[in-house]
Amino acid sequence: MQQRILTSLLAFALISLLGNAQDLYPKNESVDVKNYVFALHLNDDNNEIQGEAQISVTFKDQVVPFALDLIQKSGEFGMEITKVLENGSAADYTYSENRINIVPKDAASKTQTFTIKYHGIPERGLVISTTKYGNRSFFGDNWPNLARHWLPSVDHPYDKASVEFQITAPEHYDVVATGKKVEESNLENDYKLTIYQEPAPVATKVMTIGVTEFASRLLGEVHDIEVSAWVYPQNRLEGFGDYAVASNVLDYFINHIGPYSYAKLANMQAKTQWGGLENAGTIAYFENSVTGNKTVEPLIAHEIAHQWFGNSATEKSWNHVWLSEGFATYFCILYLESVYGDNRRKEELAIDKKEIFDYYLKNPAPIVDLTITDPMRVLSVNTYQKGGWVLNMLRHKLGDATFWKGIRKYYETYRNSNALTDDFRRVMEEVSGQDLEAFFEQWLFTKGHPRLLWEWEYNKGEISLKVEQILNPNVFQFPLEIGLVKDGNMTIETVQINNRSESFEIKSKEKPDSIVLDPNQWILIQDMRPN
């Protein structure tokens, strides 16, 4: 998803142990949802939906009670349950505080199917509205935990499942959804049934449907993955042109990271509260993303990067959402660097750096902020731009070859699964042979960044450089590139900063015209030197 809104090792070890402590969702690790089948009936007369969910569950050890999320009817909005079945027979359940609590009767079967029949008007999650052109529309917009408004489910990314959507809607609508289309049948009374199936496990936050009048085009196939565009008919030509770059982006990430996990890649113009929403295999882009000027390329790269990071390799705790958003932010930059050169990387990072500095003045917090309990509050400049900067610094620390090897290993290890920050660190340590605890503790679990006051002078073939970290209780350790500029040319020297105040002597035959700290945008430092 994209939105421009936007210490000691002992302490780090403690944070690692408590890595998902502030994610208050009541996880039930003894129960694993394997598959959802959501049959939904939509109509043009009102906003009430009729739903039937078949939920296949595996009990890991013994059969135990479990719960599903579904927002109850309160006033105009919410869902009413008409029936709950266990393997086809009446189930033992209660429904209170927006939770369906089920006590299985069959204590012997480790895999069972439960059916929930319900109806109601969703307040959120499923956006029933009109497009900017006035056409009625239905769009799933679940992030972070809004699926519970219209889909009975374990509405948290720790428990992912394959999914099938069976959408019955008036026949004049076009339907796209998570998964690959397996059926489209005209029914009686001017209705149509459309079925999509996604065999890969998907978190509810990135399950979706799109139902409106679309123009759609197959943009191509990339590594046998169909890439398509779904746009409003009024935006047909410019939409197909703008979204065509998705094929190039998909090819780049498959070649550099690893296999794509989902049945297709549809790019959908949609009603969404976000600039883009990385729904698995069916990405939603805000309505005005279509311009005909192809300015949407960075947004498309960001959302497609999520298919690997956030969708397939998914944060197990909301407090670790940088594993999704920071990765998508930086891998968008990596894609742009591959197309437009290293200057584009530096330009993007310089923009992000300013946002990080401005944000910190009002929100001094670490990237992994264990004080946050509301999933809606985990999104910030920290989890997006600063998280991306951490990956940039890690790349510089390890070198390109080792960085990419580690990224591929991390994705291979946690593909279609879940991870915490410690899991990513351990993979990068294994691949690099380096101890990265101090690096991760400093940049992810500690608030702030180095703010440097510095001065230099030249005397008899030597530059005297003094650097001091100010306005921060924490002392950061990092390598710092020093750019020596003479007659428009630059040479690079590197020094290691370990203490609050450092002095260095750098040999130079001539006095530089100027000195620039970190000219290649590798370290997240703030230059506090007066202009």
Token digits of residue 418: 């879940």
Residue type (1 letter), 221: E
CA 484 to chain centre: 39
Structure token digits, residue 143:
């992030």
Q: Residue 430 phi/psi, 5° resolution?
A: -60, -45
* Class of 27-316 in CATH: mainly beta
Tokens 């069916």 appear where? 282
Q: Which CATH superfamily is domain 319-444 in?
A: Neutral Protease Domain 2 (1.10.390.10)
Residue type at 384 in one-letter notation: Y
DSSP state of 351: H
What's the rounded Cα separation, in Å, for the pair 106 and 157?
A: 27
Whether 27-316 and 451-527 share one fold: the answer is yes
The tokens describing 229, both together, are 């565009």
Cis, peptide link before residue 10, omega less than 30° from 0? no
Phi and psi at residue 469, in whole multiples of 5°?
-85, 125
Q: Which residue shows structure tokens 């029914």?
A: 187
So what's the architecture of 451-527 in CATH? Sandwich (2.60)
Residue 406: which H helix or E strand, with range? helix 400-414
**DSSP-derived 3-state class of residue 343:** helix
Give yes or no for a cis peptide into 298 (omega within 30° of 0): no
Backbone angles phi, psi at 76, to 5 degrees: -75, -30
Domain ranges of the chain: 27-316, 319-444, 451-527
Is the torsion defined by CA of 348, 349, 354, 356 positive or negative?
positive
Q: Give the closest residue to 310 by CA, choosing from 414, 399, 237, 209.
A: 414
Q: Which residue has the tokens 């990068």?
A: 428
In order along its 531 residues, the chain shows pLDDT tens digits of: 765 433 332 233 333 333 445 799 999 999 999 999 999 999 999 999 999 999 999 999 999 999 999 999 999 999 999 999 999 999 999 999 999 999 999 999 999 999 999 999 999 999 999 999 999 999 999 999 999 999 999 999 999 999 999 999 999 999 999 999 999 999 989 999 999 999 999 999 999 999 999 999 999 999 999 999 999 999 999 999 999 999 999 999 999 999 999 999 999 999 999 999 999 999 999 999 999 998 999 999 999 999 999 999 999 999 999 999 999 999 999 999 999 999 999 999 999 999 999 999 999 999 999 999 999 999 999 999 999 999 999 999 999 999 999 999 999 999 999 999 999 999 999 999 999 999 999 999 999 999 999 999 999 999 999 999 999 899 999 999 999 999 999 999 999 999 999 999 999 999 999 999 999 999 999 999 987
Residue written as token pair 């990067």: 305
